[in-house]
């Protein structure tokens, strides 16, 4: 695996770094938090004008037809700046679901709208506070018109501002799974905010006798099943990429603080005990970066078990490293690190949310062991 980026990849990364630092930094996040919003739709439109929304969309539907690797590079920069946007929910997970499962009519209807930023999608997978992958209880009952939905789904990331939902539900009397697409304004569907520590509210979806026609089915009936595991692996890699960016920036902020803050007449960073801690964290951070880039590289050439192993290795490693470095960052900043005025606390909060999205480190270690027949 080559860790060096191509010229095109470097250009994408620089463009993302410049845009996020200038237009979507922590200052923008604070404005969104005060307004109670998860993300800025106009800003997302500007990102889509740069091609971010359509990175995984085939050119015939208005996308740039790049790979998960390039999308991961953008997510790393978004993590560094705590940029709030529906990149994982819309541009990665929902887009891939439409590309893989959608028929030609569905692709023509929705993929160009995603690429242009006109429509935003959210993926309704979870049914409780803990990630359980395929432990789906939500049932889509058959009816004369098509299907009837009752129950709850959540938390749904970016669900409060989404225009459409892609829903995973059980269909039939077996454990067969199917995907459905429905507008957020569908009769009988209500959504309420679920506040999170990173100030980006998720959504709780409640379905009260929601009636869907057969055209709402994404792909074939009972077609999701375990083939959706690859989509979730790609989402896991996307979240791990953003988490890497969060962690790298927290480390750099801490390093900068230690080389500027003076105590007892000397720089705090001159104390040998702190040098040892920073050096140790630097080594762990490089291992996490290698795991993320390795996982993204694997996603461009492999699927099935190999991709699942790479995704779980990646998320477990970067999850552990992120938890340690963000916690150390608060301690090494001292009292100022505990205040809301300093941005370092925002990085710890975002890290804690990302650590648990699509499975925490311990969950992925157990999965890796099971996949390896350990």
71: domain CATH number is 1.10.540.10
Question: Are residues 161 and 194 both part of a single domain?
Answer: yes
Please say which residue of 118, 133, 154 terminates a domain.
118
Pull the structure tokens for residue 134: 């395929």
Question: Are residues 90 and 192 both part of a single domain?
Answer: no
pLDDT in tens, 323-338: 999 999 999 999 999 9
Answer yes or no: is 110 within a domain.
yes
Q: With b meaning 16 or more CB within 10 Å and e meaning fewer, what string describes 336-345?
A: ebeeeebbbb
CA 315 remoteness from chain centre:
12
Question: Are residues 181 and 257 both part of a single domain?
Answer: no
| Per-residue confidence (pLDDT) for residue 2, from 0 to 100 | 59
Confidence of residue 135 (pLDDT cuts 50, 70, 90): confident
Please give the average per-residue pLDDT across 307-315, as a whole number: 97
* Separation of alpha carbons 374 and 372, rounded Å: 5
Question: Are residues 319 and 307 both part of a single domain?
Answer: yes
| Cβ-proximal residues to 65 (8 Å cutoff; 6+ apart), any chain | 56, 57, 58, 59
| Per-residue confidence (pLDDT) for residue 302, from 0 to 100 | 82
| Cβ-proximal residues to 99 (8 Å cutoff; 6+ apart), any chain | 56, 57, 58, 107, 111
Question: Are residues 139 and 215 both part of a single domain?
Answer: yes
Answer yes or no: is 1 within a domain.
no
| Per-residue confidence (pLDDT) for residue 97, from 0 to 100 | 96
Count: domains in the chain: 3
**With pLDDT > 70 as the criterion, what percentage of the chain qualifies?**
99
| Per-residue confidence (pLDDT) for residue 262, from 0 to 100 | 79
Question: Are residues 297 and 319 both part of a single domain?
Answer: yes
**With pLDDT > 90 as the criterion, what percentage of the chain qualifies?**
84
Confidence of residue 20 (pLDDT cuts 50, 70, 90): very high
Per-residue pLDDT at 322 exceeds 80 = yes
Per-residue pLDDT at 363 exceeds 70 = yes
CA distances from 214 to 96, 105, 167, 219 (A): 21, 14, 14, 10
Neighbour-count burial of 208, counting CB atoms closer than 10 A to its CB (0-12 exposed, 13-18 middle, 19+ buried): exposed
Please say which residue of 223, 254, 276 terminates a domain.
223
Question: Are residues 233 and 328 both part of a single domain?
Answer: yes
pLDDT in tens, 274-301: 999 999 999 999 999 999 999 999 999 9
Strand blocks (E) in 131-271: 139-142, 146-156, 164-171, 177-183, 189-194, 202-213, 217-218, 262-263, 266-267
| Per-residue confidence (pLDDT) for residue 129, from 0 to 100 | 85
| Per-residue confidence (pLDDT) for residue 112, from 0 to 100 | 98
| Per-residue confidence (pLDDT) for residue 134, from 0 to 100 | 74
Q: Which residue would you say has higher pLDDT here, 137 or 90? A: 90
In this structure, of 114-118, 129-133, 284-288, the range with the lowest mean pLDDT score is 129-133
Domain that holds residue 364: 226-371
Mean pLDDT of the chain: 94
Answer yes or no: is 13 within a domain.
yes
Confidence of residue 1 (pLDDT cuts 50, 70, 90): low
In this structure, of 16-30, 169-183, 272-286, the range with the lowest mean pLDDT score is 169-183
Question: Are residues 304 and 256 both part of a single domain?
Answer: yes
Please say which residue of 223, 243, 259 terminates a domain.
223
Question: Are residues 266 and 358 both part of a single domain?
Answer: yes
Please give the average per-residue pLDDT across 60-88, as a whole number: 97
Please give the average per-residue pLDDT across 348-374, as a whole number: 96
pLDDT in tens, 209-225: 999 999 999 988 888 87
Confidence of residue 194 (pLDDT cuts 50, 70, 90): very high
Per-residue pLDDT at 204 exceeds 90 = yes
Answer yes or no: is 108 within a domain.
yes
Q: Which residue would you say has higher pLDDT here, 15 or 128? A: 15
Answer yes or no: is 50 within a domain.
yes
Answer yes or no: is 63 within a domain.
yes
Question: Looking at residue 319, which CATH number applies to its domain?
Answer: 1.20.140.10
Q: Model's pTM, two decimal places?
A: 0.96
Per-residue pLDDT at 172 exceeds 90 = no
Per-residue pLDDT at 304 exceeds 70 = yes
């Amino acid at each position: 695996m080559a860790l060096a980026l191509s010229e095109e990849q470097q250009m994408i990364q620089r463009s993302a770094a410049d845009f996020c630092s200038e237009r979507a930094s922590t200052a923008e996040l604070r404005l969104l938090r005060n307004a109670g919003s998860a993300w800025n739709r106009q800003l997302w439109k500007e990102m889509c004008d740069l091609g971010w929304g359509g990175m995984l969309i085939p050119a015939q539907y208005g996308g740039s037809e790049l790979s998960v690797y390039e999308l991961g590079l953008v997510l790393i920069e978004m993590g560094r700046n705590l940029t709030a946007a529906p990149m994982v929910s819309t541009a990665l997970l929902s887009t891939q679901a439409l590309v893989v499962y959608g028929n030609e009519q569905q692709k023509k209807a929705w993929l160009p709208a995603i690429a242009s930023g006109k429509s935003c999608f959210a993926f309704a997978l979870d049914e409780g506070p803990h990630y359980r992958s395929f432990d789906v209880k939500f049932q889509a009952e058959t009816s004369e018109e098509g299907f009837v939905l009752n129950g709850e789904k959540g938390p749904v990331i970016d669900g409060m501002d989404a225009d459409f939902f892609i829903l995973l539900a059980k269909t039939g009397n077996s454990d067969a799974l199917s995907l459905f697409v429905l507008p957020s304004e569908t009769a009988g569907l209500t959504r309420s905010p679920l506040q999170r520590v990173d100030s980006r509210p998720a959504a709780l979806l409640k379905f009260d006798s929601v009636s869907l026609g057969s055209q709402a089915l994404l792909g074939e009936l009972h077609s999701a099943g375990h083939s959706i595991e690859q989509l979730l692996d790609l989402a896991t890699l996307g979240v791990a990429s953003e988490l890497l960016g969060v962690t790298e920036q927290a480390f750099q902020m801490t390093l900068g603080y230690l080389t500027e803050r003076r105590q007892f007449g000397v720089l705090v960073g001159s104390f040998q005990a702190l040098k040892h801690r920073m050096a140790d964290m630097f080594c762990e951070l490089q291992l996490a970066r290698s795991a993320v880039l390795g996982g993204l590289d694997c996603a461009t050439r492999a699927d099935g078990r190999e991709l699942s192993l790479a995704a779980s290795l990646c998320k477990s490693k970067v999850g552990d490293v992120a938890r340690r470095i963000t916690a150390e960052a608060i301690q090494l900043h001292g009292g100022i690190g505990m205040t809301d005025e300093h941005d370092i606390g925002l990085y710890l909060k975002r890290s804690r949310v990302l650590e648990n999205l699509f499975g925490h480190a311990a969950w992925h270690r157990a999965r890796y062991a099971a996949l390896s027949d350990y």
